[in-house]
Amino acid sequence: VALDATFRPRRGPPPAELIALVRDELGLAVLADVATEAEGLAAAEAGADYVATTLSGYTGDSTPGPEPDIDLVARLAGRLAVPVIAEGRLWTPEQAAAAFAAGAHAVVVGTAITNPREIARRFAAACPAGATGR
């Protein structure tokens, strides 16, 4: 079960309690989506089976940007005993390779392959100005 393990305010139990509920009462593995190193450490300490960088750049505690947070992947992979999954803003095979080189156990490629409009926009942006498509 994937769950938001950020420190953002929320209704309901905090991430550590949710992780325990899913693992202990439901007997399921937990993938903790985090935005910061501190959140990743807390999620792993609470018993998460996997930690993913999914929310990096999307919370007030993390810095937004167009590139994946490979530095966060490296910091988490260097400190956690659980597998780290690189997720968020991965657009190229080179970025995926960089995430693996940084210690990622797996890489999630989402919008880069599931959003045709964004894919087309990126290709168009890479074309020379005035290209007619003929």
pLDDT tens digits along 14-50: 999 999 999 999 999 999 999 999 999 999 999 999 9
Q: How many domains are contained in the chain?
A: 1
DSSP assigned state of 21? I
| pLDDT reading at 134 higher than 80 | no
d(CA 23, CA 75): 25
d(CA 20, CA 93): 35
Q: Report if residue 133 sits inside a domain.
A: no
The per-residue pLDDT for 129 is 78
Range of the domain at 21: 2-126
| pLDDT reading at 75 higher than 70 | yes
CATH number of domain containing 98: 3.20.20.70
Query: First and final CA of the chain: distance in angstroms?
Result: 48
The residue ranking higher by pLDDT, 103 or 63, is 103
pLDDT tens digits along 88-129: 999 999 999 999 999 999 999 988 888 889 888 888 888 887
